[in-house]
Amino acid sequence: MNRRDSIKSILLGSVATGITFHGCNPSEPTASLPQTPDLPQYGRTDKEKLRDQKLFETSFFNEHELLTIAVLCDIILPKSNQYNSASDTDVKEFIDFIVRDMEAHQIPLRGGIMWLDGFSNKIYNKEFVVCTEEEQLHICDQIAYPEETKPELIQGEAFFTRMRNLTLTGYYTSKKGIEELGYKGNTPNVWDGVPEHILSKHGFKYEEEWLAKCINNSNRGDVAKWDDKGNLIS
């Protein structure tokens, strides 16, 4: 099992038990990112919509920070022949929204990016985003494995762990990420009634009129209509 399949396995197990990723702050619920602030209905109250609108109108990260986040996201979840990359699912935009929605992430992420650039300058005399891919991976390898990190790099490890958690949360709560997991949720199946041999065994049978009205999968999405006397019309 490769790294990505391991992640999927962990996430599917979490979904099955109702304890999906909570980002990096287990004391708070994970915020959902609306597709657009213009959506009239996406499960929010008027007060929540107003708050969301204010969040969309503010900014936190500068251009350099957003670029650094984008690079890190794709290092954590890179593109392959089989899978999308983090940037294919707008994970950077997800994180950009989350830090405005959950301010506890702001200082750790901004400070982490500053630490990353400082460490990169120390080793390669340049900022992380302008390093080669090989250099970037060499830096990340030193802070990506908890309990294997050198004591002087613990701050970098904490930052990378937070970035990894946010990246996974953003990716696997996106449409493409959920499709990749193969998780269907509570999807209705097709029911065509009690099997005939079971009905016969107990001395019952369906009336043709009711079969046409109630067990017709071609119109199973239609809302039933009733007359004033409580009789089913259609």
Q: What is the pTM of this model?
A: 0.64
pLDDT at 162: 96
Helices (H) and strands (E) in the chain, counts: 10, 0
pLDDT at 226: 80
pLDDT at 99: 93
d(CA 233, CA 217): 17
pLDDT at 220: 67
Mean pLDDT per 10-residue segment, the chain (234 residues): 52 44 40 45 78 87 95 92 85 92 94 97 96 96 94 96 94 87 74 85 86 70 76 72
pLDDT at 2: 53
Contact 22, 30 (CB under 8 A): yes
pLDDT at 164: 95
pLDDT at 151: 95
CA 19 to chain centre: 13
d(CA 171, CA 90): 8
Q: How many CB atoms lie within 10 A of CB 13?
A: 11
CA-based nearest residue to 116, from 91, 135, 139: 139
178-216 core/surface letters (b: 16 or more CB in 10 A; e: else) = bebbebeeeeeeeeeeeeeeeeeeeeeeeeeeeeeeeee
In degrees and rounded to multiples of 5, residue 68 shows phi and psi of -65, -45
d(CA 195, CA 192): 8
pLDDT at 135: 97
Q: How many CB atoms lie within 10 A of CB 152?
A: 8
